[in-house]
Amino acid sequence: KVAEASKPGQATPQQPVKPKYDFYTLLPESEVIVPPEAVPEKTPPVPAQPVTPVTQAEAAKIDTARAQAALLGQTPPPAPPVIKPAATTQFFLQAGSFRKQADADKVRAQIILLGQSVKVESGTVKDETWYRVLVGPFSNREQLTGAQKQLAGAGFSNLLLQQRQTRQ
């Protein structure tokens, strides 16, 4: 009898199955822990948009003209300019991470009473749901430092996080 060749990555009775870790679920690519000196002193100015936006009606007319030109075998007129919002970097302070949503909501309520913008986000780590309390967003060091002092004065430790996209 010829023994079956085992496929690579397939565990045989003699080989234990190695666990796989998905670090992207633990630390999403859009967030990083940053040192305080990486936060800008002032909020960066929003760059001026040199292109004037077109209304939906104007865009529909341009699209219709482009489609008709393409059907007739002609070179279509240029597409309307697309205005994309500038990518912004925002900073958050993580004031806690909890296994129970009630605990996270309690901390959230305490921070709201301090006058800070705060929300609770949930995530799964090793098949467990965790709830973290995020204060912010902050766009400059002055806002961030004030919030850190206020949280520390109220007895909350915090962790600085950077987010490249706008949170919904």
- Which whole number is the average pLDDT over 4-27? 51
Range of the domain at 136: 89-163
Whether residue 137 is preceded by a cis peptide bond, meaning omega within 30 degrees of 0, is: yes
The pLDDT, as a whole number, for residue 61 is 76
34, part of any domain = no
108, part of any domain = yes
User: What total of structural domains would you count in the chain?
Assistant: 1
**Which CATH number characterizes residue 135's domain?**
3.30.70.1070
118, part of any domain = yes
pLDDT at 49 over 60: no
72, part of any domain = no
Give the pLDDT band of residue 74 (cuts 50, 70, 90): confident
- Range with lowest mean pLDDT among 24-38, 50-64, 66-80, 141-155: 24-38
pLDDT tens readout for residues 115-147 = 999 999 999 888 899 999 999 998 888 888 999
pTM to 2 decimals?
A: 0.51
9, part of any domain = no
